[in-house]
Structure 1
């Protein structure tokens, strides 16, 4: 049945049903030929057979805002916001109010767990690490929300190029072009890109705001996403190359791991326009395999943005990763130093 019909069958609103799918409480079926996801009759029967249905299911997807969440924890709204900005609380979703401001929503069930784990934070003076983080201007709400969404999308597919598309969606076009230098690969990732969190509808300003939230904006998170993207991209290239004009027009996997129609020739034509700008090779220094990247390599400004996604197969050495990220920076500084007149610092130095 359709998603809207399934939501009525289990007594959930559309927003609550979407959260249930996001949390893995309800499983969708993607048609083999593509199209809108569906819900099987057996899935509805499984939900109905659970204890406490439907009240228990509604409670697991119930969301609260800042004011209601503060009342649930017995603290002031200002203190609740400080916890959220410091990364102690992770939003599950958001909406835009009439003033075009972002209103974050949190799972009531997760707030109950936070109160049970950290009762000392709810009373007395805030610890020093939390004050230092907030004084430094940290706001981890958007980053933690992105990490939660990325983790969920990665768990829904095993196709290597679909996993690359999920991570590529967190970078702006300039950052993406620096990591994925092949225009044909970028065109392929654009076809596999996951849909917007709240669909394509809504006013232009709302779509722009949502698109901005999808992109990493902090330097530490950008570095983290680039490292994960490089690892998944190298694994996808080993499994199979991205389609190119004139290649075999076989059926390609969709973002959810299902089979989708062959790529649109018009997209290949668009990619052909940028092929002449491809300059450097994708190969990098690789020696001494390391099973993943240790946490000490990357900074951790917030309780996120999530673990490094080690793809299936051989992992790229840490030295190779750092060289591919840092080599361009050293080269650009040396180029600026060569182009600058004697006695003057390079621009931005």
Structure 2
């Protein structure tokens, strides 16, 4: 059954249970999976990723568990990040907008403003690099960064997308179509249709599309913003994703072409229809001849008008004379 694990619980467990057993919040667990700190396996029943018991035991047996695992997935915002770098929040934001600090997550505050989060471990490493000292300790930010601020440069969304595509392709593993679908997530549908002209391949990419974290109900401001952040916007970035999609798509075609569905069989004829595959054309009958009107009967000859018919006069006279004759022949008595 779809969505039901085919692996017994004593071999693997769902992400929510694995997070509890590792002492992590769900967001921390998901970030640890994205960073490759926790290995997952696909659920053969189609229910998403799972964590094996052996992986949980490996993590629990590591030195410093669970504090060390929590430290590696700890995230900070601008204020805390500036403290880690020992700079002002303004300079921290300038470094991040210029693309020197890459966010790993984000959320919307009550004013519907994007709040970017950064890995604390990465900020500590950035501060420890000697080559970055002029960016942190100079009296003013470098001129290049100041010019970018004046022009409205902000590479945080772009760098976040670049990081996310790395997360998704890592989770896709060796499945070439899943890797191509992960890249397609960051392109506008029109760009995907332009690169993937075959409708069967586009449908297969949609089926392989990774499950992205939900940000609000569909149609909400949070969901609309998440869709905007997820879509490449700058021309050179769009060109890069298109080229990457074309490359991964070519690899997927060579390894496992998408099967073209067979044409649908013709519908069976209903009992009222003839069973023949093709109905014979109905012969066209010749039009019936137009009936001629029947000839009118000849008009009756008019009888000449007379005051009295002749046979009536003869009958009347003959009856009176016979009566007189019979009367005179009677004997007197």
Report the TM-score when normalising by structure 1: 0.67
Q: CA deviation at 1:192?
A: 0.8
Match of 1:51 among 63, 75, 79: 63
Q: 2:148 and 2:247 mapped to 1: Cα distance? A: 30
Structure 2 residues not aligned, in runs of 5+: 1-12, 264-333
Matches within 5 A, 1:239-250: 239-246=255-262
Aligned residue number for residue 160 of structure 1: 176
Larger radius of gyration: 2
Task: Tell me whether 1:120 sits opposite 2:134 in the alignment.
Answer: yes
Matches within 5 A, 1:79-228: 79-117=91-129, 118-124=132-138, 125-156=140-171, 157-196=173-212, 198-199=213-214, 202=217, 204-228=220-244
Aligned residue number for residue 23 of structure 1: 35
8 Å contact from structure 1 (residues 87, 141) kept in 2: yes
Q: CA deviation at 1:47?
A: 0.8
8 Å contact from structure 1 (residues 65, 104) kept in 2: yes
User: In the TM superposition, what whole-angstrom CA distance separates every residue of 1:82-122 from its partner, at most 9, and x where no partner exists?
Assistant: 11110000111111112222111001110001111112211
Q: 2:238 and 2:149 mapped to 1: Cα distance? A: 20
Q: CA deviation at 1:200?
A: 7.0
| CA distance 1:6–1:240, change in 2 (3 Å) | closer
Q: 1:7 and 1:84 mapped to 2: Cα distance? A: 30
Aligned residue number for residue 289 of structure 1: none
Q: 1:84 and 1:239 mapped to 2: Cα distance? A: 40
Alignment coverage as a number of residue pairs: 246
Q: CA deviation at 1:146?
A: 0.9
- Report SS of the residue matched to 1:193: coil
Matches within 5 A, 1:60-79: 60-79=72-91
| CA distance 1:246–1:216, change in 2 (3 Å) | same
Which structure has more RCO (C-alpha within 8 Å, separation ≥ 6)? Answer: 1
User: In the TM superposition, what whole-angstrom CA distance separates every residue of 1:192-233 from its partner, at most 9, and x where no partner exists?
Assistant: 11111x237646322222122111001110111111111122
Aligned residues: CA RMSD = 1.7
- Report SS of the residue matched to 1:39: strand
8 Å contact from structure 1 (residues 188, 243) kept in 2: no
Structure 1 residues not aligned, in runs of 5+: 248-349
More deviation, 122-131/137-146 = 122-131
Matches within 5 A, 1:201-280: 202=217, 204-246=220-262
Report the TM-score when normalising by structure 2: 0.70
8 Å contact from structure 2 (residues 215, 226) kept in 1: no
8 Å contact from structure 1 (residues 200, 207) kept in 2: yes
